[in-house]
């Protein structure tokens, strides 16, 4: 009998993460609106800093990413020593799960939360529980109702991917107040830079006054998706353990340099946020109708719901968009079979998307 190494059964139960489609089809000029990348590209200063690193490829990067941590601390008015840098926020989320979950434990997430959370939970062998959302928003009462003696982590992406909805500061505090001190609340604020709601709080205040809250952030949405760069803010006891466990040189030199340059480029950041807000609001207003519903979004994308009573189909709408070179995100694997997620992009892309979808809603044959 042939034998070979076998993985843990819990690993085999994982459903692969499927990224958004990149191209519309052969011979069609594609506009990618499927990955929630920066709507205006990358800072020129970040590109310059990245290229400069080519002369230092033989050297190891700063394992503590101190310069990057210092500028993050200054911008966010937080403590440098309470920041950990990761190879994307994905790495940091993986590390937290490995450190704080065992096979006997349970994690809880929103019904429509980021699909990475089940992957890293099941990879440990722990159980993932889904809390029902209410009108596509995370529901605090339903999250707390799932908590039991085995619960060790709450994953909350705020704002949410793929709905774009958010919980405000008071709601976050109520969720935290309902948790035992030994339950880790992980607030994934990947889209914080794009939030314009006045009652939003990314998680910094909760981390500062708590021992069981971590805020996770990313550079992927602000121009550096290719470099895999993320960070978190956490209490000292969590930072200490993360630094014990993470690999010594987990973030490359070019990513650190580009991250610093992006943060220093205030004009780019202001332009990025302003462009996104303008076209997010425009697209929402342009598409909202009795046949298409666009959820209010605080991110760099919108979620479009198709009126099933009118026989509209997200699948047919996606096909129509693809024929016109517009590549959006099918979110059926999120449990949303009649919705499409559309990233905010250039003026050209937004005008074309609105035109195609409005024509589809008016003329689609059932």
pLDDT per residue as tens digits for the range 262-287? 999 999 999 999 999 999 999 999 99
d(CA 156, CA 90): 14
Residue 364 confidence (pLDDT): 65
* Numbered ranges of CATH 3.40.640.10 in the chain: 55-264
Q: What per-residue confidence (pLDDT) applies to 164?
A: 98
Q: What is the mean pLDDT of residues 50-73?
A: 96
CA distance 102 to 99: 8
Which class would CATH give 9-42+267-361?
alpha beta
Q: Contact 133/161 with Cβ under 8 angstroms?
A: no
Span 47-54, average pLDDT: 96
Distances (CA, A) of 133 to 157, 165, 183, 313, 328: 13, 11, 21, 22, 23
Phi, psi of 302 (to 5 degrees): -130, 150
pTM for this model (two decimals)? 0.93
Residues 6+ apart with CB under 8 A from 21: 34, 327, 329, 330
Residues 330 and 35 sit within 8 Å (Cβ to Cβ): no
pLDDT at 366 over 50: no
Q: What token pair was written down for 71?
A: 């500028």
With a pLDDT cut of 90, the percent of the chain lying above it is: 87
Q: Which CATH class is domain 55-264?
A: alpha beta
Percentage of the chain surpassing pLDDT 70?
94
Report which secondary-structure segment, H or E, holds 357: helix 347-363
Locate 349 and state its tokens.
Answer: 């892309």
What's residue 2's pLDDT? 67
- Arithmetic mean of pLDDT, 294-317: 88
């Amino acid at each position: 009998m042939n034998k070979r190494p076998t993985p843990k059964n819990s690993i085999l139960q994982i459903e692969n993460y499927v990224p958004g489609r990149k191209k519309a089809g052969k011979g069609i000029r594609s506009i990618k609106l499927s990955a929630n990348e920066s709507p205006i590209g990358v800072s020129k200063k970040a590109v310059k800093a990245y290229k400069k690193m080519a002369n230092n490829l033989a050297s190891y990067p700063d394992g503590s990413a101190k310069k990057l941590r210092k500028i993050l601390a200054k911008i966010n008015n937080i403590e440098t020593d309470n920041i950990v840098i990761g190879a994307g926020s994905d790495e940091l989320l993986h590390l937290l799960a490995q450190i704080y979950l065992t096979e006997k434990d349970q994690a809880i997430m929103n019904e429509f939360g980021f699909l990475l959370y089940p992957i890293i939970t099941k990879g440990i062998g722990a159980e993932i529980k889904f809390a029902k959302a209410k009108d596509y928003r995370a529901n605090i009462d339903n999250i707390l109702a799932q908590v039991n003696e085995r619960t060790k982590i709450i994953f909350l992406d705020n704002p949410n991917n793929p709905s774009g909805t958010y919980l405000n500061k008071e709601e976050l505090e109520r969720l935290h107040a309902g948790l035992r001190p030994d339950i880790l609340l992980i607030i994934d604020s990947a889209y914080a830079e794009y939030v314009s709601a006045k009652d939003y709080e990314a998680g910094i205040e909760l981390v500062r006054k708590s021992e069981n809250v971590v805020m996770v952030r990313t550079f992927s949405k602000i121009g550096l998706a290719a470099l895999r760069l993320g960070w978190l803010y956490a209490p000292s006891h969590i930072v200490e353990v993360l630094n014990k466990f993470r690999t010594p040189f987990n973030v490359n030199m070019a990513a650190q340099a580009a991250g610093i340059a992006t943060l220093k480029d205030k004009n780019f950041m202001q332009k990025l946020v302003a462009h996104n807000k303008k076209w997010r609001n425009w697209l929402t207003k342009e598409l909202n109708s009795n046949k298409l519903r666009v959820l209010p979004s605080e991110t760099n994308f919108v979620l479009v719901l198709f009126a099933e009573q009118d026989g509209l189909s997200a699948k047919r709408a996606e096909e129509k968009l693809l024929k016109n070179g517009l590549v959006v995100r099918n979110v059926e694997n999120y449990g949303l079979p009649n919705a499409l997620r559309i990233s905010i992009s250039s003026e050209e892309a937004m005008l074309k998307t609105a035109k195609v979808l409005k024509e589809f809603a008016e003329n689609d044959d059932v």
